[in-house]
């Protein structure tokens, strides 16, 4: 079987261990694996990483040492041409021309939506892997990269807590997450933060100001609020302006963590998840599966049709929001 692998959209820590698991499992089946560089753009440009142009031997040894490596050695991109029907048709022609039997795209919602489009014009097998720090995909409890991004954000918050405590002040920390507040909420709980703003719940400045006064009266001298970039008010900078205007009882500063959260060596949870899902993807191809995403739900490896994955974004858990409120007070 000739399998193409690509990473598309925002990179996520764990994409490299996923590639390693795919190559090693494919080695067991005696498959040929071709790394497609720069995501769907590289597919359209026929930018292939094969035996002839790999820096080291192709196959199982070429992926040695990838468990701990952040980013993606395949490189990634967001490809405008692949968002057009002509682009998708061209990609299908290229896959036929090079006699690919299967494709494993690793990425988030846009990557998997692209894979579903491709399946309309190409009859090879497609099995997607959930790779995004956002944890916003249906069909898996956790996406590859989420655990590392939380770790990175919490390390930053632990440091900010020290300076917030020293100066009796409040930090408004912006984390990534355009559609889903899971990264923000998990970071807030793990970092012992007091307030969170997520895209799923309309933000009320009046309610936040009331909470800040309540915390002040309870004797809390310093505060940390986590804001998801996709919050309806528009992120941490806007939040600071609005809270200032509404009379926040705390002196405030903004920290935008941004792309720092996408980098770094994957934590063990991401390495293990990536390894399980990479192996399961190749196994699934050999069982004849196609048009699905691999995931893990309640410790079980599962396959979900791409059409069911992309219909919506995962939502934060209301129980976790309640938990933050109880614990913070």
Our CB check for ligand F6P shows the closer of 112 and 294 to be 112
- Contact between 133 and ligand F6P (CB under 6 A)? yes
Q: Which of 8, 67, 124, 134: binder of ligand F6P (CB under 6 A)?
A: 134
> Which of 42, 108, 266, 278 touches ligand F6P (CB under 6 A)?
108
b/e 254-265 (16+ beta carbons within 10 angstroms → b): bbbbeeebbebb
CA 146 vs CA 4, 18, 35, 141, 159: distances in Å: 24, 14, 23, 10, 20
Angle between helices 146-167 and 268-286 (to 10 degrees): 160
Question: Does residue 262 bind ligand F6P (CB under 6 A)?
Answer: yes
Name the segment binding ligand F6P (CB under 6 A); options: 118-126, 173-181, 190-198, 205-213: 173-181
Q: Which of 3, 8, 9, 215 binds ligand F6P (CB under 6 A)?
A: 9
Contact call for residue 10 and ligand F6P (CB under 6 A): yes
Listing from the earlier edge strand, what are the strands of the sheet with 195-197?
Answer: 195-197, 223-228, 170-175, 252-256
Does 137 contact ligand F6P by CB under 6 A? no
Residues that bind ligand F6P (rule: CB under 6 A) add up to a total of 12
The span of 18-26, 131-139, 236-244, 268-276 binding ligand F6P (CB under 6 A) equals 131-139
Compute the least distance from the CB of residue 15 to ligand F6P, in Å. Answer: 12
| Segment interacting with ligand F6P (CB under 6 A) among 164-172, 174-182, 288-296, 318-326 | 174-182
Looking at 67, 72, 76, 132, which residue binds ligand F6P (CB under 6 A)?
A: 132
Pick out residues in 63-102 that bind ligand F6P (CB under 6 A): 78
Phi first, then psi: what are they for 158, rounded to 5°?
Answer: -60, -40
Catalytic residue among 11, 31, 134, 182: 134
Centre a 10 Å sphere on the Cβ of residue 165 and count the other Cβ atoms it contains.
11
Structure tokens at 96: 């036929």
Question: Does residue 41 belong to the site contacting ligand F6P (CB under 6 A)?
Answer: no
**Subset of 226-255 contacting ligand F6P (CB under 6 A):** 229
Q: Is 177 in the site for ligand F6P (CB under 6 A)?
A: yes
Residues 199-218 that bind ligand F6P (CB under 6 A): none
Residue nearer to ligand F6P on the CB measure, 243 or 257: 257
Q: Which distant-in-sequence residues (6+ apart) come within 8 Å of 155 by Cβ?
A: none
Q: Which of 40, 104, 95 is nearest to 274 (CA)?
A: 104
CA dist., res. 81 & res. 100, Å (int) = 21
> Which residue's CB is nearer to ligand F6P, number 78 or number 253?
78
134 is catalytic: yes
Q: What are phi and psi of 231, to 5 degrees?
A: -60, 145
C-alpha–C-alpha distance, residues 307 and 296, integer Å:
17
Residue 52 burial by Cβ neighbours in a 10 Å radius (0-12, 13-18, 19+): exposed
Give 260 or 321: the residue with its C-beta nearer to ligand F6P: 260
Cβ proximity to ligand F6P: between 3 and 175 the closer is 175
Instruction: Give which of 129, 134, 133, 35 is closest to 75, Cα–Cα.
Output: 35
Who's near 59: CB < 8 A, 6+ residues apart?
23, 27, 33, 51
**Looking at 74, 127, 173, 176, which residue binds ligand F6P (CB under 6 A)?**
176
List residues binding ligand F6P (CB under 6 A): 9-10, 78, 108, 132-134, 176-178, 229, 262
Annotated catalytic residues are: 134
């Amino acid at each position: 079987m000739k399998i193409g692998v690509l990473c598309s959209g925002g990179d996520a820590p764990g994409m490299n261990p996923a590639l390693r698991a795919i190559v090693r499992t494919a080695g067991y089946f005696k498959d040929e694996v071709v790394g497609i560089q720069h995501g769907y753009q590289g597919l359209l440009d026929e930018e292939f990483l094969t035996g002839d142009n790999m820096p080291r031997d192709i196959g199982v040894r070429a992926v040695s040492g990838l468990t701990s490596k952040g980013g993606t050695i395949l490189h990634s991109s967001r490809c405008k041409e692949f968002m057009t029907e002509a682009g998708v048709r061209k990609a299908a022609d290229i896959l036929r021309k090079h006699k690919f039997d299967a494709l494993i795209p690793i990425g988030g919602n846009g990557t998997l939506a692209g894979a579903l489009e491709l399946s309309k014009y190409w009859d090879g097998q497609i099995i997607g892997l959930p790779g995004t720090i956002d944890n916003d995909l249906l069909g898996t409890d956790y996406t590859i990269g989420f655990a590392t991004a939380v770790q990175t954000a919490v390390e930053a918050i632990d440091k900010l807590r020290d300076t917030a405590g020293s100066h009796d002040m409040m930090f408004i920390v912006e984390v990534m997450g355009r559609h889903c507040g899971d990264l923000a909420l998990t970071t807030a709980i793990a970092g012992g933060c007091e307030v969170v703003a997520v895209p799923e719940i309309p933000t009320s400045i009046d309610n936040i100001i009331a909470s800040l006064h309540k915390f002040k009266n309870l004797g809390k001298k310093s505060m940390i609020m986590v804001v998801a970039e996709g919050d309806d008010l528009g992120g941490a900078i806007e939040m600071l302006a609005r809270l200032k205007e509404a009379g926040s009882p705390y002196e405030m500063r903004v920290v935008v963590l941004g792309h720092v959260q996408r980098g770094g060596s994957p934590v063990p949870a991401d390495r293990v998840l990536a390894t399980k899902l990479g192996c399961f993807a190749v196994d699934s191809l050999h069982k004849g599966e196609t048009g699905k995403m691999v995931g893990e739900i309640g410790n079980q490896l599962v396959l979900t049709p791409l059409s069911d994955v992309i219909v919506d974004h995962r939502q934060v858990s209301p129980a976790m929001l309640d938990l933050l409120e109880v614990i913070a007070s």
